[in-house]
Amino acid sequence: RTEQGKLDEVASDIKAFLKGVPESVDEMKEIISYAKMPFIVKGIMTAKGAEKAVEAGAAAIVVSNHGGSVQGACPSTAEVLPAIADAVKGKMVILVDGGIRNGVDVCKALAMGADAVIMARPFVTALYGGGAEGVKILTDKIKAELEATVADLTAKVDAVTAELAAANEALAAAQAELEAAAAAKAELDASAAKVAELEANVSALTAQNEKAAADLDFMAAAKYRDEMWALQQYLEVWKD
């Protein structure tokens, strides 16, 4: 058998095996082991589903709602992609499809956690309308849009980073000024405390001086009385 014949046989066997949707991780493991090739699970719309795909051994998942045709009011892939990426990023390849039409959309999907995107409808139109050249034109257009978007975002990130660095420098300068002001205030508080201490000492010395003056006045008065008494005694003796 040719290699293609073997692949066709495997595909036929898998189709026969997959008469229904796998109902457990173990069934998915069996399918993946039977395929004997990197296995991609399409139609993942929840973080829990992505984690089960990892557990089953899938090499990749496609975050897809199958064009929203599975059920009414189905969420878009953009709504569920971030949570799925948070759950399994780095554990498997994350692909996403659904409404991706240009390079800006590709950039958004990558920013939300996808490793790559799947675009079908735009390329079908390009192929039918322009053949290989149409596909090349569309591919170049998407590439140019993606590069321009990334360049624009990079410039904006650089600008914000510069603003943040300037703000951090201003904050550091303000903090330094605040610390200097705090040190100056501490010196002023210490000076105020010293002044209060000196004022207290002056008050104490003033009180001592006032007491000393009062004592001197008292002693002077007492001496005057003693001299007057002595004079009176002398006069009385002289009279006699």
- The residues annotated with a catalytic role in the active site are 66
**What order do you get walking across the sheet with 93-96 strand by strand?**
40-44, 60-63, 93-96, 116-117
For residues 128 and 152, what is the distance between their CA atoms, to the nearest angstrom? Answer: 33
For residues 57 and 40, what is the distance between their CA atoms, to the nearest angstrom? Answer: 10
